[in-house]
A and B are shown apart, each in its own frame.
Chain A
Amino acid sequence: MAQQQEERQVFADIVTLHQHVVYRYLLRFTGNVHDAQDLFQDTFLRAHRAYAALPADADVCAWLMRIAINLTKNYIRDRQRRRRVMLEPVGKRADDEIPEPKDNADTEGLMISRDIARTLQTAIAALPFHQRVAFTQRQFEGLEYATIATHLGCSQESARAHVYQALRKLRLVLDGTDAREQRG
């Protein structure tokens, strides 16, 4: 019994240590609290089941992020499937929360119009999965390419290429210009 309690405490400590990183990723990725909370729960319950088999020297943070990323992949797939069934246009879901720009002193100089925020959020959500993960982690979490590469199971070069591709697409969206015209 004592051993079980000890084990529970060890896992609770792991959650406390990594919950911010994992949650931040999930919220950035899904763009809404409801889905982020569900995926947060799934991530750590899955981790809890597999934790006993994790080697002692494993990188726990990277391991948790890989679980979270896999779950977001399923999440995207399920949503796309649901959309197809419901014939719902991408990015027009009522529960896609776009953060309200805060009108306070901290961000006054950084005001962003609601339209641009919405355009960017929609464009980010439309990125291919790997680009979206790499971009979110680099741009919003400031992670190293090497770290992103371990999360995605790709090379550093690919991680960087994903981020650059994503930026290029966002730039084109902001320009309001079709990609083909740009290149031609």
Chain B
Amino acid sequence: MLGNKEDNIMPTIHAHSLPCGFTEDLLIAETLAETTPALSQQVAAHLASCASCRTLVERYRGLQTHLHTLAATDNAQRGLPQARQRLDAQLALHTRPRLQVEIWHSPVGDLRIGRTAKGVALVEFVRPDEQTVVPTQRWNEFTLENGGLEVQTLIGQLEGYFDGQTQDLAWHVDDVFMRSDFQRTVLHATAEVPYGTVVTYQAIADTIGQSKAVRAVAQALRHNPVPIHIPCHRVIGSDGALTGYAGNLVDIKKKILELEGIPVVATDKGLAIARGQMYIGWRRDRYFCLPRCTTLKEQSAGDRAFIASRTRAEAMGYRPCDVCHPDLQLFS
């Protein structure tokens, strides 16, 4: 006998009215013993007076007999042992690499640090509302592990960076979470921008030989899977505006830039670097100028790097400009 749950399904079956006005689905339900007692009585009453429906029920009973026989004569497990053997052989080949993950409460908010045997794969800002969400799809290819000594080492190095002790993390990167070859190219170029220096999105686009792809460059940087180590925070708008960081985290971009000695000011268009207080380095010709140098217009804007201090410019191997003599003057 069927439960109550199925009782209230039956009245909704009303398709396929027969010439006699009765419902064919009720006859099917009767042969399958899926009716309620009340409906069963109704069917019985109808069958008593309708010969064509009696024939129909007989046909359905006959069909059931054939189907039962079909099921009984067909071995539904034939071929399974071989299928399982093949599967086991395949599974043995599919060993997923390890991904060690740990959340670190950094000075700029929670960061999810992840590494594989190949290198650092992930430095992710964990948004407050995201704490409980387990990132799924992208991680399916990995065997997840919580923390581990290697991740602790990475965190120690990041602590050094935020203390101002370490300027170069010198990590190996696993590019597994990068989305395209274009993004890899962009991030590769960005990785070359030194500590305490900023360049524009245009400059990166020029570097990779795709001067018109400025917005694509910005998108590629927005989805940088290894921020801080690959310094997308050192890339800004052509007008000096910080624009964005990992979506809407521009305040974090400000903090990190200030940590590297880059002056950031609030303008009416939002946060921007204080270009008037920074040296301008010419990346191709390897020399640097004061921001008021008369030679600035002679060079392409995309070639500029903004450098926080003279020491840094000199450490990068830039020589002082012959015209404005940044080595002989100090910023006030």
Residues on A close to B: CB < 8 A?
3-4, 7-8, 11-12, 15, 19-20, 23-24, 27-28, 33, 36-37, 40-41, 44-45, 48-50, 52-53, 99-102, 106-107, 110-112, 116-117, 120-121, 139-140, 145-146, 156-157, 160-161, 164, 167-168, 170-171, 174-175
Contacts and interface: CB of A to CB of B under 8 A. Distances in A.
B91 A11 contact: yes
A27 B79 contact: yes
Nearest to B145: A3
A107 B72 contact: yes
Contacts of A174: 59, 62-63, 66
A37 B79 contact: yes
A110 B72 contact: yes
B72 to A, nearest CB: 5
Nearest to A140: B71
B127 to A, nearest CB: 20
Contacts of B83: 19, 23, 36-37, 40-41
Contacts of B29: 164
B13 A107 contact: no
A140 B84 contact: no
Interface stretch (B43-51, B132-140, B233-241): B132-140
B258 interface: no
Nearest to B95: A4
A167 B63 contact: yes
Nearest to A4: B143
A53 B91 contact: no
B72 A139 contact: no
B213 to A, nearest CB: 33
A130 B8 CA distance: 23
B76 A24 contact: yes
Interface of B: 5-6, 9, 12-13, 15-16, 24-25, 28-29, 34, 56, 59-60, 62-63, 65-80, 82-84, 86-88, 90-91, 94-96, 98, 134, 136-137, 139-145
Given A41-B86, A53-B140, A120-B67, 19 more contacts: A4-B95, A7-B143, A19-B83, A23-B83, A28-B74, A40-B84, A48-B91, A49-B141, A53-B136, A100-B73, A101-B69, A110-B69, A112-B69, A112-B70, A145-B6, A146-B5, A156-B9, A161-B13, A161-B25
A49 B87 contact: no
A interface, over-half SS: helix
A40 B136 CA distance: 24
Nearest to B135: A53
15 contacts: A3-B143, A7-B143, A11-B91, A28-B76, A37-B79, A41-B83, A49-B140, A110-B69, A110-B72, A111-B69, A112-B70, A117-B73, A145-B6, A161-B15, A164-B25
B73 A102 contact: yes
